[in-house]
Structure 1
Amino acid sequence: MSGTSQATIGARSDTTGRVPPPSRLPSLTGLRFVAAVLVFATHVTWNTSLVEGPYGAGIRQAFSLSGAYGVGFFFLLSGFVLTWTARPDDPAPRFWRRRLVKIYPSHLVTFLAAGALLVAAARPVATVDWLSNLFLLHAWFPRLETSTSMNGVSWSLSCELFFYLCFPLLYRLLGQIRESRLWVAVGVVVALIVGAALTARFLVSDQPRLEIFFLDGSYSFTQVWFVYFFPPVRALEFVLGILLARVVLAGRWPALGLLPAAGVAVAGYVAALYLPYLFGTGGVASMWTAPLIASAAVADWERRRSPLRGPVAVRLGELSFAFYLVHLMVVMIGGQVIGLDRRFPPLVGFALILVLLAVSLALSWLLYRCVEDPLVRRFSRPSTDTNGRVSGSARRWWVPGSAASDRRAARR
């Protein structure tokens, strides 16, 4: 194969004169928390009515799609980071084990918590909802009650699990694309993403109409599910992230600074608010975040100034997965305690929102420290033989001679 070999996808050619790509991208870690807060903003403004008057209506409209935008960012980011840190000789079972340890224990804890809350509230849950959610299969069901069952945000983990299962094969296949044709491949994936939205709009039945959140009966849930929940369609964003990482590693990303890239992401979100729903959410909207991901990676690689690289931003980013899993339950319980129909003056309402944010952060820290971090450290380490030596296949994955590298890679 000309252009690039499978063995050099994760490494930059020495002829470029630049330093090798860093193993960690702290700016992207910082961005993870920004995306998680965008998801929180949608849920807290649409599941409660804490701020009265035009201020409340304004923030509800402003953040109506921020949750979808944040989730799409995570899908792109997953493909990007996994490709950035991948090793072609890493066995697929070990990769799957690391990813499962990363997401499933925290999912199980929040699944049990959500189940306990539903039982306490005497809310009936169908057996298919319990089982499909437990095994992260619920996003495959074109049924609102199933796709959003239990802990409502966990549907995205169903998509992520599908991405992880496909990644070893995708990594090999997409690794065969010549560097000179990477942008063509990006264009093909973008066309497929737009095509998915067009398919949902014109080929998927719009009956029965769905009236929920801000959809005002314009679409059926099947249309929304196809664009927003269906794992193979959302996998297009994951693939776009893989290709984006290859573009950056190949030195073919244009010189776009972090601030202009952030401007593109903000402008894309504003545009999404005025587009038809199927084109303002899912993959079509997620594409606007691609320049920000690539530019943040380049900023870390070239050690440019980045406000997302600070220790507080990185720590919050490390908590983002746990925060994502716990925040909706906090919002729902907080709304019940405060009163779903109660409205407050802006200052009081915003203060209550900050309280819910703080409680979510505290619980996410607890979930991260007690479940996610220790299990990742324990089960993502390279295997050793009976004499305590790292096995040959494991040595090929880990950066040799560095315990710190082992710990960093274990968190990926």
Structure 2
Amino acid sequence: MTTSDTEAPSTSALSPTAPATSGSSSTVRPGGNLPGLTGARWWAAAAVFLLHALVFLPTYPFQKSELFRTIHQNFLPMQFGATAVTFFFVLSGFIIYWSFRPGTSTVAFLRRRILKLYPTHLVAAAMFIVVASVPLSRIVVWVPNVLLIHTWLPKWTTVGGLNVPSWSLATDLAFYMSFPLVLPLVRRIRVDRLMAWVIGLLAFIILMNVAYHFGLDGPTSTANPFVPRLVPGEVSPSTDLHASQAWFRQQDIPVVPSYWFSYNFPLSRLPEFFVGMIAARMVIEGRWRNTRLTLPLVALAVTYAATYVVPVSFKMSALVVGPMCALIATVAVRDLRGISGFTASRPIVWLGNVSYAFYLIQFPIMVLVSRLVIGGRQFGLLGWVGCTALCFALSLAAAAAIYQWVDLPIMRRFAHVRPRKPVQQAA
């Protein structure tokens, strides 16, 4: 997923950009709240949840039916959730640039990002360890995940060794580490060349995935290669394979190179973060003024439809980065102009605030429901819908509790650097 923070400081924050250069018609003072973007996070998190519920809830015989294959191949393929992750990655670059305060030290910046990223992740990881009975002796399974370094090695033993959705947090961490280095470069881009840089990064993303497709081993057909790992029988098992003891015991689980490089490898996703940063500067400098959602949404629909007819290296993110950038910039401009839509309503904004915890806790909840409710029973489509609804309710309740009792208190207590008291000189 994920960007882990769309909370911004008050509108009194100074602009993170250099003074506007020639070609800039009007600038915006950044740092204010963007409720439409906060609310949009919820829909992306909900899309990931729906896909995960389809593939990670072992509801037999539904998962072995032709109906399931039709739904998974035609309506909820893997790129349905992957597109939402692309949204989070581009949004992360946008929000980090938007909310950055001038003069903030690198240490203070990373301190805030780590405080936002790790506590909720550790709560979800601890819950998964308990409900999945993860053998702590298998250090390779859980330590890299806890540290968020697990996607740097092309082995499913580590990439998918613990709470599966947390793979994207390792990429988020790479984003945050790169930001202090990239920020001065983004500031130096001439205002009239910002769009050219976005187009250049989009072209680089496509060319990078072309290289992965032709230079690395992996599926070359356009069919959806992702299916649940099934076990024999028509009775539901007590857990998905990713949370089973058989999975944890395996010494080495290789990945498909072209898929891992194009989707999981953090460096491959950095350009999406940079696109988001430049998009934020375009909004700040008044270079993106569109407030109509129609064109970005149509472009996103067209590129998403194209993912059905391209190889796997292009299915997961490459085609939709551009439309996601346009959509995020447009929603931000709408927020700045006070155009409130459904995603900016108070209930949806609240859901957006808890979406990070919701994204992380969903898989542990699914493992728990699989053990207590699904295992040993049989389910058709309606049974899967009922189990999904139960997981949704429990995940949302747990996310709200984590946000209220973990995330908010930690950020309020530790995230802000307190100004030093002036030293009084003796009279």
TM-score of the superposed pair, with normalisation by structure 2: 0.80
Select the residue among 116, 136, 141 that pairs with 1:129. 141
- Does structure 2 conserve the Cα–Cα contact (< 8 Å) formed by 1:237 and 1:283? no
Select the residue among 191, 215, 227 that pairs with 1:203. 215
Alignment of 1:8-407 (within 5 A): 9=17, 16=25, 20-21=29-30, 23-48=32-57, 50=59, 52=62, 56-61=68-73, 62-64=75-77, 65-118=79-132, 120=133, 126-206=138-218, 213-214=226-227, 221-253=256-288, 255=290, 257-339=292-374, 344-386=379-421
Alpha carbons of 1:220 and 1:19: their partners in 2 closer, same or farther (altered >3 Å)? Answer: closer
1:133 alignment partner AA: N
- Does structure 1 conserve the Cα–Cα contact (< 8 Å) formed by 2:27 and 2:284? no
- Does structure 2 conserve the Cα–Cα contact (< 8 Å) formed by 1:147 and 1:155? yes
2:406 alignment partner AA: V
For each residue in 1:200-246, what CA deviation from the matched residue of structure 2 results, as whole angstroms up to 9, or x when unmatched? 11112349x9x973499xx9622111011111111111011111111
For each residue in 1:54-112, what CA deviation from the matched residue of structure 2 results, as whole angstroms up to 9, or x when unmatched? 65444323222222111111110000011111233211111100000001111122222
Shift of 1:40: 0.6
Shift of 1:8: 5.6
What is the alpha-carbon distance in structure 1 between the residues aligned to residue 218 and residue 27 of structure 2?
52
What is the alpha-carbon distance in structure 1 between the residues aligned to residue 15 and residue 30 of structure 2?
15
What is the alpha-carbon distance in structure 2 between the residues aligned to residue 8 and residue 325 of structure 1?
31
- Does structure 2 conserve the Cα–Cα contact (< 8 Å) formed by 1:42 and 1:67? yes
Alpha carbons of 1:374 and 1:272: their partners in 2 closer, same or farther (altered >3 Å)? Answer: same
- Does structure 2 conserve the Cα–Cα contact (< 8 Å) formed by 1:22 and 1:301? no
Alpha carbons of 1:342 and 1:43: their partners in 2 closer, same or farther (altered >3 Å)? Answer: farther
Shift of 1:260: 3.5
What is the alpha-carbon distance in structure 2 between the residues aligned to residue 249 and residue 256 of structure 1?
14
What is the alpha-carbon distance in structure 2 between the residues aligned to residue 184 and residue 17 of structure 1?
19
Shift of 1:341: 8.5
Alpha carbons of 1:340 and 1:46: their partners in 2 closer, same or farther (altered >3 Å)? Answer: farther
What is the alpha-carbon distance in structure 2 between the residues aligned to residue 168 and residue 221 of structure 1?
32
Alpha carbons of 1:179 and 1:12: their partners in 2 closer, same or farther (altered >3 Å)? Answer: closer
For each residue in 1:179-211, what CA deviation from the matched residue of structure 2 results, as whole angstroms up to 9, or x when unmatched? 11111111211111112211211112349x9x9
Shift of 1:49: 5.4
Q: Which runs of 5+ in 1 are unaligned?
A: 1-5, 390-412
Q: What SS class does the counterpart of residue 319 from structure 2 fall into?
A: helix
Q: What SS class does the counterpart of residue 103 from structure 2 fall into?
A: coil
Q: Which runs of 5+ in 2 are unaligned?
A: 1-13, 230-253
1:9 alignment partner AA: T
**Residue in 1 aligned with 2:9?**
none
For each residue in 1:256-277, what CA deviation from the matched residue of structure 2 results, as whole angstroms up to 9, or x when unmatched? 5124323332333232233221
1:165 alignment partner AA: M
Q: What SS class does the counterpart of residue 134 from structure 1 fall into?
A: helix
- Does structure 1 conserve the Cα–Cα contact (< 8 Å) formed by 2:31 and 2:100? no
Q: What SS class does the counterpart of residue 282 from structure 1 fall into?
A: coil
Q: What SS class does the counterpart of residue 175 from structure 1 fall into?
A: helix
What is the alpha-carbon distance in structure 1 between the residues aligned to residue 182 and residue 18 of structure 2?
14
1:73 alignment partner AA: F
RMSD (CA atoms): 3.0
Which has the higher mean CA deviation after the structures are superposed, 107-116 or 164-173? Answer: 107-116
Alpha carbons of 1:177 and 1:368: their partners in 2 closer, same or farther (altered >3 Å)? Answer: same
Alpha carbons of 1:266 and 1:338: their partners in 2 closer, same or farther (altered >3 Å)? Answer: farther
What is the alpha-carbon distance in structure 1 between the residues aligned to residue 410 and residue 423 of structure 2?
20
Shift of 1:351: 3.1
- Does structure 2 conserve the Cα–Cα contact (< 8 Å) formed by 1:129 and 1:138? no
- Does structure 1 conserve the Cα–Cα contact (< 8 Å) formed by 2:31 and 2:98? no
2:298 alignment partner AA: G
Count the aligned residue pairs.
Answer: 377
